[in-house]
Amino acid sequence: MLQYLQQLWDSGSLSPHGICLLWRPELIWTHVGADALIGLAYYSIPIALAYFVSHRNDIEFGWVFWAFALFILACGTTHFFSIWTLWVPDYGAEALIKVITALLSVVTALGLWPLLPKALAIPSTDELRRVNEELKQQIAERNAALAALQAEKAERLKTEAMLRQAQKMEAIGQLTGGIAHDFNNLLTIVAGNLERLEQRFRDDPSAHRSIKGALEGASRGAALTQKLLAFGRRQPLTSHRLDANGLIERMTELLQRAIGEEIKINLKLGGGVWPIEVDPNQLENALLNLAVNARDAMPKGGQLTIETRNVNDPTLTEGETFRGQFAMLSVTDTGTGMTPEVVSHAFEPFFTTKPVGEGSGLGLSQVYGFVKQSNGYVDIDSAAGGGTTVRIYLRRALPEPERVAAPASVMGLTVSPIGGAG
């Protein structure tokens, strides 16, 4: 083996490769130029591969790149030795370099073929782009589902708040109606006995004045209990089939006198508004209460808009449509408006934002009780500084044949969490 290596390095009996080319300059320098360029290119490729692999830690099969770099580096070295052996016959060293190059090429080839299935399994750029688009679509669908869930949660919380408000108002109405009913019975007894005393002491001026003052107090107490009974839906109603637009037009002059000349009334009465069946006196009283509340919210004047139109309840199924038809009456002012906290108590009896002595706090509670007793519902839309709108929804009157046969139905009152107080 040692002798073999010595003979391999022995170049004494060898001639440089240039002799084979007869030292012809055009051949010599053509070989030199070509091998030099190939060698430089072969040296630059491993540098590029090494730079790429060292900066991409996520690259798959990184060792293959290093194997290619060494193989190409060895190939470049063989080309530089081809230039050297043109003048120096070191063919033994050139042979060893070619052996190293052969070994590197064989190792690289043996390692490359088993990797082909794994390399082919790596997703292409188009596949990655398609998967990325699918992922984006899934994220968008998930975000849409989350948004829908949030909206559903918000709607559920709003519905729960409205239900709690309705239950509270129902409980307050039952308690108020019961107390007012009993108190009204007591006032009836008191007033009856006072009237008998008034007749007995008619000739006694001092006693007559005292009894008359007591009767006036009893009368005011009776009026108060009537308002409470209205809130508790226990007042007697005399319903008639009527045209809401006609009633409003007849009331316009009265409303204008009640609110003053500084406030302009604007009527927006819809065409073909369905007839309703309610107590006309109580409806007039409700509209008057709303107008007076609006006046108090516009101390410097403004505009009062009364609007009517037909409304269908979208929650009813087919076949119930007629019973889900309402005539909507709204009263809108351009006044100071109210905060949500004030609105949440707007329909409660004795709640008022007015100074002491300027309001009883029973205006909206009367409207509430009358509308609910009439199988309708009411809501309020208001914002601080943005005015207030009160909407009354009264059920469409049944046709004449159905008015006798149709059983009375009571629709649950829906109270909006926004509104106003008077």
Residues 56 and 68: their CA atoms lie apart, in Å, by: 16
The pLDDT of residue 207 is 76
Rounded Cα distance between 67 and 419, Å, is 79
Let me know if residue 130 belongs to a domain: no
302 - beta bridge partners? 263
Range of the domain at 94: 2-122
**Domain co-membership, 74 together with 223:** no
Domain membership flag for residue 413: no
Instruction: Looking at the structure, tell me whether residues 312 and 213 fall in a common domain.
Output: no
From start to end of 13-131, where are the E strands? none
Q: How far apart are the first and last CA of the chain?
A: 117
Burial class (CB in 10 A: 0-12, 13-18, 19+), 367: buried
Fill in the DSSP letter of residue 86. T
Residues 241 and 226 in one domain: no
Measure the CA–CA gap between 143 and 139, rounded to whole angstroms.
6
Q: What pLDDT, on the 0 to 100 scale, is given for residue 224?
A: 64
Q: How many domains does the chain have?
A: 3
Q: Where are the alpha helices (DSSP H) in 21-61?
A: 25-55
Looking at the structure, tell me whether residues 354 and 382 fall in a common domain: yes
- Beta-bridged to residue 378, according to DSSP, are 392
CB of 362 closer than 8 Å to CB of 293: no
Domain match, 247 and 387 both:
yes
- Both tokens of 88, joined, read 């120096």
The pTM of this model reads 0.47
Question: Coil, helix or strand for 266?
Answer: strand
pLDDT tens for each residue of 42-91: 888 888 888 888 877 777 777 777 888 888 888 888 888 888 888 888 88
Closest alpha carbon to 280 in 241, 324, 327, 227: 241
Q: Rounded CA gap, 331 and 294, in Å? A: 8
Quote the pLDDT of residue 15: 83
Mean pLDDT along residues 313-334: 72
